[in-house]
Amino acid sequence: MSVHVGEAASALPFPEAAKKLVANSQLRRNVRHATNVIRTKRGRVVAEMDDWEQLRDAGKAIKDHTLAHLDEYLLQFEAACTKAGGQVHWARDADEANRIIVDLVKRYGSDEVIKVKTMTSDETRLNVALEAAGITPFETDLADLIVQLGEDKPSHIVVPALHRNRMEIRELFMGKMGLDTLGYQPEDLAAAARNYLRERFLRVKVGISGANYLIAETGSVVVVESEGNGRMCLTLPDVLISIVGVEKVIPRFEDLEVYLQLLPRSATGERMNPYNSIWTGVTPGDGPQAFHIVLLDNGRTKVLADPESRETLDCIRCGACLNACPVYRQTGGHAYGSVYAGPIGAILTPQLQSMEHSQTLPYASSLCGACYEVCPVKINIPEILIHLRTKVVDSGHAPLAERLAMKGAAFAMSKASRLSLAHAFARLGQWPFNDDGKLDNLPGLLAGWTEFRDLDAIPAESFREWWSKR
Amino acid sequence: MVISLFITCYNDALFPQTGQAVVTVLERLGHTVEFRAAQTCCGQMHYNTGYRHDSYTLLRQFLEVFADAEVIVCPSSSCVAMIRDHYPKMAEQLNDPALQARVAAILPRIFEFSELLTDKLGLTDVGAFYPHSVTLHASCHGLRSLHLGSKPADLLKQVKGLTLIELPDADQCCGFGGTFAVKNPDVSAAMLSDKLQCVLGTNAEACAGADNSCLMHIGGALSRQRTGVRTVHLAEILASTEKSS
Amino acid sequence: MVVQAMTSREAVLANIRAAKGGPADESIPRLYSASVDLSPAEVVEQFADRLHDYNATVHHCTVDAIPATIAGILQTRQKTGLLIPSGLPPEWLPADYAFRRDEGLSYADLDASQGVLTACDVAIALTGTIVIGHSPAQGRRALTLVPDYHLCIVRLDQLVATVPEGMRRMAALLPAPLTTISGPSATSDIEMIRVKGVHGPRTLEVILVG
C-alpha cells in the first residue's frame, strides 16, 4: 500500500508555507478578489432558495446513508455499469490506479490523452505517471491548462488558477502557445485556449475524466462542468477512462436532484452550471465505444473507519468552504501543500495519509465556523479539525513547548488555589517585559503574538482577589 | 434572582474589570450575584488544541462547581459555546451516561451575558450611559455558535449617548482563534490587519464585543499601531451610567 | 492483470466492510420543494428570463410558425443552413436553406458547419436548463457540441418548473446519455469574469413553441 495525496507528504508545514504566501501582495489580491466574487454570487443564489436548509439536510442524509452501505452501492454500480457496457476496475491506492490507466492507454495504442478536470487524478499524480510512460496528457479545463502550462499547482478545488491574474496568464499563454500577440481581456485569453485545444479535442483518441457522482441503481456517471471541455473529453474520443473515488457513489438517480441544486449554487454561485453530462456505459453510435472506470480507495476507507470524522467523505467538492474561510482567503491554496486546499483539505489530506503527514493542517484554522455554515452537506469541519488535533497530540506530534505549556495550564486550572498561585507567578514573570502596562516583546510561544500585537500587562488584582475583598 | 458568575480563567486574570462590570449591571438591576471561588476554566483552550484528556478534568470540575447554580452567567461567548457545543459531545466520548445527564441538566441554565439580559431577563435598556461612538465586533462563536444575532447591538442601541457604527465585514474572523494566533502568527496577523482596517474605517472611538479574547487580539494591534482606538467589553459599557462616568 | 484486479476489488470491499460501523439513520428527509406555486405563464416567463440571464436569445412562436421563425433567425445571423439530426421533423424546416442531416459526419465536418438545429426532451424554468436526451430529434452528443452555434426548439409541454420535476422526466430517458445545457458554455476561470463561450457552442438560441 502506498497512499499518496499529490506531494502532500513532503509539503512544508502550513505556517511556514503560509508565511511566504501572505507576503505576496499580488497573490493575496487575486485570491481576495476571486473569493469575494464567488461568495457574493453564492449568497445571492442561495438566498433565493426557500428550501435550501431542507436540501442540505437531504444532501447530508443521502451521503451518510450511502457511506453506511458503501460496499452494497459500489457493487450495485459495478453490476449496472458493466451491464451497460462499461468496464469497472478497482484500485487500492494511487499507484495502482495510475498503473491501470497507463496500461489501458497503451493497450488502446495512444501516446496522448485529453483530460477534463479531475482532482482525483491530481491526487494520484496521474500526469506524472503518464509522462513517465511516454504519454502526453493535455489538461483542457481553462484553469487546469493555466496550471499545467505554468508548471504550477492548483490552488482551489473549483477555480484552480484563481491565484493568477489576466496579465500573468497572458504572458504564460504567449510563451507556451507561441503567440506573437494576444489581448489581455479574459475573452481573448479564453479564445486562445479554445484555439489551442480545439485541434486536440478533435484528434486525441483517449479521454480521461473524474466524476462528480456515480449512480448505483443505473450505473450512470455524472460530470458537472461549465466550459464544454468536459463534454469534449467525454464525447469525442474513442476511449473514455474515468478515475473516481469510492465515496462518489449515490444510491438513486432521484438523489441527483438534490446535488444538482446544491452543487452549482455552492460552487460558482450559479443556479445551474452550463453543462451536466450523464452517461451510462457505452451508447452505440454516440460517444466513446470503450468506457473504463477506476474506483479508487487511496486512504478513503481509512477515513471511513473513524466514526468521528467519516463525514469528511460526504464532500461534494464545491469549494464553498474555501471561499468562506478567512485563512484560505489570506494564503490561497498552495499553503495547504495538497491538491485539496482550504478547510476541507485541512481535514481530508491528513486523514487520507493516516495522520502520518500534514500534521500542521488541522491547526490551519481559527475554528471560526464559516466553513460549516456554508457547507452544502453540513460537514462539521471545525469539529473534525478538533478531533484531528487530538490525534496529532495523542500521537506525540505536537511541539514540546506547547505540550509543556498545556500540561502546566491544565495543572494550574485543576484547582482554584493553584490558579491563584499561577496568577501570582505570571505577574512576577512579566515584569522584565512590561513596558508601561503593555507587553510588546515576549519570548517563546508568545513571541509570534507580540511580533504583531501588544499584550496588556496582567493587572495587579485578579477578579477573584477583588471579589474576596468585597 | 441569584445569578452565579462564571468569570472564565482569562477574564479572571486579565480582565477583572469585565467581571466587575457584570456584577455592577446585575446588582443595579436588583439581582444577587454570587461567585463560586472553586471555579477555574471551561477547558476550551485544551479541547480546541487537541488536549482532550486535560479538558475532561475541567469539564468535571465545572459541573462540580456549578451543579446547583440556578442561573449561570458568563461574559465570554466562546466559553459558553465550548460548554454548549462540546460538553455534550465530551460526555458522550467519555461514555458516561450520568455525566451526560448532568451536562444536559446544566445547559439550560447557562447564559452568555447578552443572552441573560435579553432572553432570560427580557431587557434591552439597562439604564446605561456611554457618550462615545462605538463599533461592534461580533465574534465567531457569538455569531455562528450561540447565534447571538442582534442581541449585543440591541443592548448597545439602548445606551444613552452611544453612537453605534456598523462594522463592515462583521462576519469575518479577527484571526484570534485561541492557540491559532500563536501557532499561525503570520496568517493570524494578516486576518487581524483586515479587521483593523474595518474597525478604523468606522472612525469609532471604541470597538466593543462580547468576548475579551477577540478584543484582546484586536486591541493588541490597535495599541501596537498607536491608533488611539480602544476595545471595551459590552458589560463595561452597560455598567457605565451618568453617575459613574 | 485480471487476477490482480480481483484482488484489489476484494481488498477495497473488505476495507469498507471493516470500516463502516452499524447502520446509519436510514430515513432520508426529503422536505425540499419538488414543485413551486407558479402559473404556467409565469413558468414560461421565468424560463425565458433565465435564458436571457445566460445571454441566450429567446424567440416565441406557434407550431405553424416554426419554419418562418427559423428562417428569420438564419437571415438575421446570415447563415445559409444548419446541420440537423436525422430525426428532426421535416415540417419544421423552412425552404431555401440548406439543412444537412448528420449521418456519420466527421468531427471536421461538424467543426466547419454554420451550426446545428435540434429539438430537446425536457426544459427546466427555475434554472433555465435544456435537457438533450440524444434521441433521434437531437442526435448524438457531438452534434450539439462541436458546432459553434446551437438553435434549439423547446415545446412548452416539455417545460417544467423545478429541478426535481425535470429529473423525473429525465429518469424516463435513461439509459440514453443526457446532457443538460444551461446557457452557452462559459468560464469564470480568469479573475472570476464570466466569459461566454469556450469549447461548446458559443451561441445558444432558443425557440419556445406553443
Give contacts of A 389-418 with B, CB under 8 A: 389-394, 398, 402, 406-407, 409-410, 412-416
Residue A426 has pLDDT above 90, yes or no: no
Kindly state whether A195 is in contact with chain B, defined as any CB-CB distance less than 8 angstroms: no
The domain B133-239 is placed in CATH, from the list 3.40.50, 3.10.450, 3.30.420, 2.40.160, at 3.40.50
Give the integer Cα–Cα distance in Å for A192 and A178: 11
Cβ contacts (< 8 Å) between A448 and chain B: which residues? 181-183, 185-186, 188
Residue C2 has pLDDT above 60, yes or no: no
**Where are the alpha helices (H) located in A395-437, listed in sequence order?**
400-413, 416-429
Contacts A–B by Cβ distance under 8 A: 199
- Whether there are 3 or more C-beta pairs closer than 8 Å between B and A is yes
The mean pLDDT value for A110-119 works out to 96
Cβ contacts (< 8 Å) between A287 and chain C: which residues? 140-142, 177
Chains in contact with C via at least 3 Cβ–Cβ pairs below 8 Å = A
The mean pLDDT value for A231-253 works out to 98
Q: Quick one: pLDDT band at residue A445, thresholds 50, 70, 90?
A: confident
Kindly state whether C104 is in contact with chain A, defined as any CB-CB distance less than 8 angstroms: no
- Do the Cβ atoms of C177 and A277 come closer than 8 Å? yes
Q: Domains in chain A, start-ordered, CATH in brackets?
A: 52-300 (3.40.50.10420), 400-468 (no CATH)
Q: Which three three-digit cell numbers place residue C26?
A: 436510514
| Sign of the torsion formed by the C-alpha atoms of A49, A54, A59 and A60 | positive
Q: Which of C167, C191, C198 sits opposite A227 (nearest CB)?
A: C198
Give contacts of A 4-43 with B, CB under 8 A: 14-15, 18-19, 22, 28
Largest CA distance in chain B: 53
* Cβ–Cβ gap B39/A416 under 8 Å: yes
All structural domains of chain B with their residue ranges: 2-120, 133-239
> Amino acid identity of A467?
W
Residue C4 has pLDDT above 60, yes or no: no
Q: List pLDDT tens digits, range A45-60.
A: 999 999 999 999 999 9
- Residue with more model confidence, A274 or A3: A274
pLDDT for A242 equals: 98
**Residue A198 C-alpha, separation from nearest chain C C-alpha, in angstroms:** 8
Q: List pLDDT tens digits, range A361-415.
A: 999 999 999 999 999 999 999 999 999 999 999 999 999 989 999 999 999 888 8
Q: At what angle do helices A256-267 and A25-47 cross, to 10 degrees?
A: 140
Q: List pLDDT tens digits, range C15-26.
A: 999 998 766 667
* Cβ–Cβ gap B7/A464 under 8 Å: yes
**Ranges in chain B, pLDDT < 70:** 245
* Residue A89: count of CB within 10 angstroms of its CB: 22
Q: Quick one: pLDDT band at residue A254, thresholds 50, 70, 90?
A: very high
pLDDT for C93 equals: 98
Residues 6+ apart with CB under 8 A from C31: A51, A54, A57, A58
The mean pLDDT value for A158-182 works out to 94
* Cβ–Cβ gap B46/A440 under 8 Å: no
Q: What is the mean pLDDT of chain A?
A: 95
pLDDT for C1 equals: 45
Q: List pLDDT tens digits, range C151-204.
A: 999 999 999 999 999 999 999 999 999 999 998 888 988 998 999 888 989 999
Region of A224 (left: φ > 0; alpha: ψ -120 to 50; beta: rest) is: beta
pLDDT for C6 equals: 60
Q: Which three three-digit cell numbers place residue A457?
A: 500587562
Q: Which three three-digit cell numbers place residue B151?
A: 442581541
**Residue B193 C-alpha, separation from nearest chain A C-alpha, in angstroms:** 10
Q: Domains in chain C, start-ordered, CATH in brackets?
A: 37-209 (3.40.50.10420)
pLDDT for B232 equals: 98
Give the integer Cα–Cα distance in Å for A443 and A265: 47
Contacts A–C by Cβ distance under 8 A: 259
Convert A295-322 to b/e letters by CB count within 10 Å (16 or more is b): bbbbbbbbbbbbebbbbbbbbbbbbbbb
* Cβ–Cβ gap A453/B180 under 8 Å: no
Residues 6+ apart with CB under 8 A from B129: B159, B160, B161, B240, B241, B242, B245
Secondary structure element (H or E) that encloses residue B208, with its range: strand B206-209
pLDDT for A1 equals: 59
